[in-house]
Amino acid sequence: MGFDDRRAEVVQAAWRVIAREGLDRTSMRAIAQELGSSTGVVTHYFRNKEELTLFALEQVFESVMAEMRACAQKWQGLERLEQMLFLALPLAMSDRDDWKVWLAFLGYSIGRDRLIQEHCKRYGLLREILVEMLAELQAEKLIRPELDLMFEANALIALVDGISLNVVINPEQFSASQQQLLVQRHVEQLRVA
């Protein structure tokens, strides 16, 4: 097994522990136990928990971004925007685990400037993609011309974050179809009359 494969196993073990225990209770020892190895194996690939967490989050973020790019190729118009937003929602149990880790990371970031900067960088990239997509929809005359695209991108991010936070805390609050309906209602409000 190569370096990258073994490193990916460490990240997956860390992800499971964080989703189950929370980031504050996750230690290199707990990750090693999840992996069935020694702490030395984990520290061989990552110096500390912060480095491992940042790497894991980057992997998930890259995966979501790749899914969004693929989705953008399959869909057109407002459906493309909806489908891309659906990818970010915790529609399935595995998505909820990803959101648990993301929320744990956000809480852990408070007071840690480097982690806050990483958070802002990821949201900045997502915002850019949404603004670009909204601009295309505006150019195609599918959404209202007077919309402030940065404001709308931020509103879409806040909508997805709010739904996801509530689903992670109380999974029964919104079914998958209800999550999608909330997104569709908001996107519909952007449409040209």
- Over residues 126-165, the pLDDT tens digits come to 999 999 999 999 999 999 999 999 999 999 999 999 999 9
Q: Give yes or no: residues 14 and 97 share one domain.
A: no
Q: Give yes or no: residues 33 and 72 share one domain.
A: no
Contact 32, 43 (CB under 8 A): no
Q: What is the count of structural domains for the chain?
A: 2
Q: Give yes or no: residues 99 and 184 share one domain.
A: yes
| Residues 6 or more apart whose Cβ sits within 8 Å of residue 159 | 85, 182, 183, 186
Q: Give yes or no: residues 22 and 62 share one domain.
A: no
Take residue 25 and report the two structure tokens written for it. 């209770």
Given a cut of 80, whether residue 10 has pLDDT beyond it is yes
Residue 5 structural domain? 1-47
Mean pLDDT rounded to a whole number for the chain: 90
pLDDT in tens, 28-53: 999 999 999 999 989 999 998 888 88
Residue 55: pLDDT band (50, 70, 90) is confident
pTM for this prediction: 0.85
Residue 36 CB neighbours (<10 A): 9
Take residue 78 and report the two structure tokens written for it. 């407002």
Separation of alpha carbons 125 and 173, rounded Å: 29
Q: Give yes or no: residues 59 and 116 share one domain.
A: yes
Domain holding 53: CATH number?
1.10.357.10
Domain holding 34: CATH number?
1.10.10.60
